[in-house]
Amino acid sequence: MTPPFCTESPPIDTVHKADFSAAQNSTAGRKPQNEDAVGFFVPDEPLLTIKGTIAMIADGVSSAEAGKEASHQCVNQFIQEFYNTPELWSTATSAQKVLTGINRSLYKRSNSFRHLDKGYITTLSILILKSNKAHIFHIGDSRIYLIRDHAIEQLTTDHIATSGTETHYLTRAMGMDIGLTMDYRAIDIAEGDRFFLSTDGIHDFMQDQDILDAFHPQADVQQICQALTEKALHEHSDDNISCLALRVNTLALETKNQAAIRLHHPPFPPDLEPGMKLDGYRINALIFASTRCQIYNVTDEDTGTRLIMKTPSINFVDDDAYIESFITEPWVGSRFDHPNIVKVIANHGKKNFLYYLMENAEGITLDQWREQNKEARPKDLIKIIDQIAAGLIALHEKETIHQDLKPRNIMISPDGKVKIIDFGSVYVAGIAEIYSPVKHRHIIGTVNYSDPLYMLGKNMGVKGDIFSLASITYELFTQHLPYGNKLESFKVHLDTKRLKYIPSTHIKRDIPLWFDGALLKATEINPSLRYESIEAFMQDLKNPNPEFLTEAYILQHHKRFPTFKVWQALGLLWLASLLAAIIIFIT
């Protein structure tokens, strides 16, 4: 029987809910048709906390013939698709992905028109309120204002230009171009903040002070929208008139004491021994124990399925940061269904203690495998690295950084299948945006495999995982580490000058120079010199990059090689050796 995936609750406070007051008004005004669109959506929990609340406004371009269809498509499709993006994504990534798709759709539909200035074209301004931040996405000349402390601030920039006849025209809009350049910014928000979204049928016919005056303390949001609509009509607005007023009543900002109460239920389990039972799971054996956790092999007594149970260490029973991270692990892990990432399994009943379950990934850890296979063939090692890379790519696609990749966190089955098995140090972009009163100490992972910049409190994102993967690769091929034991003494930024990469070719002469070039680039101390993605590293690891085969590069990084003239004389011999190395080393 295959156990079900985990459906753990998100590691966030969903008891204290944000509350907003909002109203909107949209009218054709003096035009025969209203081509504006306004939207406001507050989802239920947990999406309210994980994704936030959306307020948005769009002004379909009248001269584009399909402006109304464009504005309504933007509002309706964005609200629907934004909440379907991965929960692990940041607000910016989620919004940009959806907006790119909408823009392409509008642009494609516009191709049915004969003239280039016709089509599905609209302005778009979006306000997303998540935790204690406001995320603003904007293109065109609609506007978003912030009213705070009796002052008004325009948060967006009008994308317009003026012709010689003083006629305004849009320079950027949804559906105008196949490429999308969207303005984005994020600001802190506070309870009592008010926002105003408007199309040019309102703000082009009044001053900012008029808007501010409408937001007097006694006015509710509906009165504000009505008053400013009437003001625009009184000022002879000749366009559609649309607006949305919003007030932040309360924010879901948990206090430290409230967080402590939430985090300490359920309690830590006791130390477990073979034969004991916990919530219907029989303990078979202790697999691993450290100062941070215990790993057990267990059997589900209802189904007979063997599973892995991870429990927190009693050393951290009063450490809220540790507990919050532990709760986050299964929630993050359950968001992945990938052959190279261990599956987190749902508990079949009520959990009376803090722990989580994983599939029983049979086999041994990569460090054990390395000790048993010191003479492994390069192609077998590459197969292992390929699978680790595939797991990391799956994590990165959902803006999740592992941060503690090491051989002990990688399992290899008897038939060579590889799985990443630990999420204890992950960074998740979407969760990092949510305010927490719990202060987390920076986790630096295992020194020998982790990006040295972690020790300086810096998170280099994907590039940190690239460093770890390359270090593991280096060790598999050489039985050594790229910087020896120097990383253990890395303390301050100035130490980077004393960290010297040891060419893998100095340890094993049969390693090709281009292969070592990929390892060097992936483990550069300066992150700006590293690869931008796992895919780019793997490409160079399996295919000679000409950059690593130039005379200048080889003389700079491999000083034991001959001088330039001797190198030229050996050129033909090297070419033949290179071709042979590719065939023998990789295949």
Question: Which tens digit of pLDDT belongs to each residue from 199-215?
Answer: 999 999 999 999 999 99
**Tokens, residue 542:** 């399996």
Domain boundaries, the chain: 19-253, 260-359, 364-586
DSSP state of 547: G
Give the CATH fold of the 260-359 domain. Answer: Phosphorylase Kinase; domain 1 (3.30.200)
Residue 311: CB atoms within 10 A of its CB come to 21
Top-confidence residue, 116 or 434: 434
Helix and strand numbers, DSSP H then E, in the chain: 18, 23
pTM for the full predicted model: 0.87
Does the structure show a pLDDT above 50 at 6?
no
Q: What are the tens digits of pLDDT across the range 130-172?
A: 999 999 999 999 999 999 999 999 999 999 998 766 667 899 9
19-253 belongs to CATH 3.40.50.10860: no
CATH number of 364-586: 1.10.510.10
Three-class secondary structure assignment of 325-346? HHHHHHHHHCCCCCCCECCEEC
Q: Are 403 and 446 spatial neighbours (Cβ–Cβ below 8 Å)?
A: no
Does the structure show a pLDDT above 80 at 286?
yes
264 falls in which pLDDT band (50, 70, 90)?
A: confident
- Determine the longest span between alpha carbons in the chain, in angstroms: 88
User: For residue 116, what pLDDT is reported?
Assistant: 53
- Residue ranges of alpha helices (H) inside 334-422 are 366-372, 378-397
Degrees, nearest 5: CA angle 563-566-568: 110
User: For residue 443, what pLDDT is reported?
Assistant: 57
User: For residue 496, what pLDDT is reported?
Assistant: 66
Give φ, ψ of 320 to 5 degrees. -65, -35
Does the structure show a pLDDT above 50 at 7?
no
| CA dist 487 → 446, 447, 492, 511, 531 (Å) | 10, 6, 11, 24, 20
* CA pair distance 62, 92, nearest whole angstrom: 29
Q: What are the tens digits of pLDDT across the range 375-428?
A: 899 999 999 999 999 999 999 999 999 999 999 999 999 999 999 998 888 999
* CA pair distance 401, 117, nearest whole angstrom: 43
User: For residue 62, what pLDDT is reported?
Assistant: 80
User: For residue 361, what pLDDT is reported?
Assistant: 86
Mean pLDDT, residues 365-381: 94
DSSP readout, 261-289? HHHTSSPPPPP--TT-EETTEEEEEEEEE
* CA pair distance 273, 278, nearest whole angstrom: 11
Does the structure show a pLDDT above 60 at 367?
yes
Does the structure show a pLDDT above 80 at 366?
yes
Q: What are the tens digits of pLDDT across the range 74-125?
A: 999 999 999 999 999 999 999 999 999 999 999 998 887 655 556 899 999 9
DSSP readout, 9-75? PPSS--SS--EEEEEEEEE-TTSSS--EEEEEE-PPTTHHHHT-EEEEEEEB-GGGB-HHHHHHHHH
Residue 97: CB atoms within 10 A of its CB come to 14
Residue 256: CB atoms within 10 A of its CB come to 11
User: For residue 564, what pLDDT is reported?
Assistant: 43
Top-confidence residue, 291 or 389: 389
Mean pLDDT, residues 558-567: 49
Q: What are the tens digits of pLDDT across the range 42-56?
A: 999 889 999 999 999
Q: What are the tens digits of pLDDT across the range 485-532?
A: 777 666 656 566 678 899 999 999 889 999 999 999 999 999 999 999
563 falls in which pLDDT band (50, 70, 90)?
A: very low
Average pLDDT of every residue of the chain: 88
User: For residue 111, what pLDDT is reported?
Assistant: 81
Mean pLDDT, residues 352-372: 94
Residue 23: burial class (beta carbons within 10 Å; 0-12, 13-18, 19+): middle
